[in-house]
Amino acid sequence: MTEPRRETIRGRGRGSWRRSRKSRADAEPSAPAVGPLLSTITREDLDSNITSSSGKEFSMITDCRLVGSYNWLNRKSPTILVPGAPPEWTPTGTSERLPQDKGTYFRDQNSARYAAHVFQPAANSILNQDPDFDFTQIDIVACNSTLGNLRRFIAEPDKQFRFIVEAVGSTVFFVRRENSPTQALSNVVGFGHTFPEANTTWGSDVKGSESHQRILQYRFAGLSCLVRYGGDGYLPQLYQPHGPRREPAATAPDDLLASFNQVSVSTVSPEGEQALRVESGGELVPQSAMFDLKTRSATKQYSNILRDELPRLWISQIPNFVVGFHTDGEFHDVRVEDVREEVRKWEERNEVQLRKLSTLMKLLIEFADGQPNRRFEVVYNGTDGNGELELREVGDEVNCCLSDVMKRRWAAGYLDGRGKEKKDEREEVDDAGQSKHIEREDSEWSGESESEKDFTACSASTCGYCGHCAY
């Protein structure tokens, strides 16, 4: 491992960084109700069903590319700037003591700002970059949080989590679920917000931004994945914006979707639902220039910090890592490190863990395809539970992750046959890897189509709507 670069802090940053201080944020909301249990998955299930193929594609991320990005703007109504841009790393010239974080910060910017359809902004940003993007070629859409939770279930099964699994066309979405869309981080201490606020700068063409969101497309375990994550910033020595930084210009949603086979979107939303406003501004910043940022006490060791963050850097394919070390808020040591090699080595060392992750992802896809409404909820109770991943009916009402118009656009190829081809291709990959179905008393993991099943004698509480119960 190369020695981290130590930076002298210089150049005052301006503007807020991932600031989400809203009085409406819920401090301690109660958890949503859980639905009836459909089935369970244990880590032992994954041990016995792990893909046996020797191909590295079952434990490696390949063909990674940026397909979209956007910024959330600090507006009363939900507004994104497409493609937006991350803040620039502009370290200050002093080591003055920074104030501790205070205020309210959302756990999930996307659900807090547009709970109606949390993946709608991501879909808009992708189509802004490529109006002909073929969604039928995508197997999974997720964020770094949901994929990170699944990995931790395998390797570090202590923290509880829940998320919704929802199929649209030939794609399965993993949708993060907090106790409330506006749930806030609890017990906020340290300098994880004030340090980046002082040392990063939003460009003039993305002023008023609250966060920068990025969507990557890559292949993992034979699956084509779209992964959304929040980008902390970019290093100016690795990328310089092209041309003058212009002010953002408003774009009507129907302009953005004009090429969707003559399907247009109106700013009129269903009663009680706010429309998502889309504005044009910023520019795509390459993934190679992006960094992830952490602050830690000066008593901590860099190697230990990096070790703990490598799984998250791997999921989001972030090549650079910035760590600010402080003593009571005074930052005298800031390190900027190219961690691509460390991420690659972590991937190699954890091949078995990642094979289990790929098996788990495919089982969830298969289970979604077997549900009558093609959606369910994953609930894990951590150390308070029995160690099982619970698959349940969705508790309480939850909107689809996409608007009706976007669902039609997303599923267009699925309805004309391309989705079936993609599903068949996915099953061929599974067969090549010799992955097996988990057969359980309370549920059948079957790849059969809905038309081949009969749910008349089924119920959610007994079989999870397996489609095979006798009268």
- Is position 443 within any domain? no
pLDDT given at position 273: 64
pLDDT given at position 453: 41
């917000």: which residue's tokens?
A: 193
- Is position 453 within any domain? no
pLDDT digits (tens, 9 = 90+) for 288-308: 999 999 999 999 999 999 999
pLDDT given at position 70: 98
Helix (H) or strand (E) holding 382: none
DSSP structure string for 300-356: S-HHHHHHHHHHHHHHHT--EEEEEEEETTEEEEEEEEE-HHHHHHHHHHTHHHHHH
pLDDT given at position 385: 73
Which tokens hold the place of 214? 């990025």
Neighbours of 207 (CB within 10 A): 17
pLDDT given at position 371: 95
Of 278, 339, 310, which is closest to residue 69 (Cα–Cα)? 278
Helix (H) or strand (E) holding 188: none
* Whole-number Cα distances in Å, 271 to 116, 121, 398, 407: 12, 20, 16, 19
**What residues contact residue 294 under an 8 Å CB cut-off, 6+ apart?**
192, 305, 309, 321, 322, 323, 324
- Is position 357 within any domain? yes
CA distance 23 to 420: 47
pLDDT given at position 108: 78
Mark the ranges of the chain whose per-residue pLDDT is less than 50.
1-26, 54, 246-271, 418-419, 432-471
pLDDT given at position 224: 98
pLDDT given at position 134: 94
Instruction: Determine the angle formed by the axes of helices 302-316 and 144-155, rounding to 10 degrees.
Output: 120
For 134, phi and psi rounded to 5 degrees?
-95, 95
pLDDT given at position 20: 44
- Is position 359 within any domain? yes
Of 92, 37, 1, which is closest to residue 385 (Cα–Cα)? 37
- Is position 435 within any domain? no
- Is position 313 within any domain? yes
CA distance 139 to 118: 18
Produce one character per residue of 300-330: b if its CB has 16 or more CB atoms within 10 Å, e if not: eebeebbeebbbbbbbbbbbbbbbbbbeebe
Produce one character per residue of 162-182: b if its CB has 16 or more CB atoms within 10 Å, e if not: bbbbbbbbbbbbbbbbbebbb
CA distance 384 to 152: 15
Q: Is the distance from CB of 327 to CB of 14 less than 8 angstroms?
A: no
394 DSSP assignment: P
- Is position 373 within any domain? yes
pLDDT given at position 397: 80
Question: Can you give the residue range of the structural domain that contains 143?
Answer: 36-240+261-416
Domain count, the chain: 1
pLDDT given at position 8: 37
pLDDT given at position 184: 62
- Is position 98 within any domain? yes
CA distance 449 to 175: 23
Altogether, the residues listed in the chain come to a count of: 471
State the amino acid at position 49 in one-letter form: N
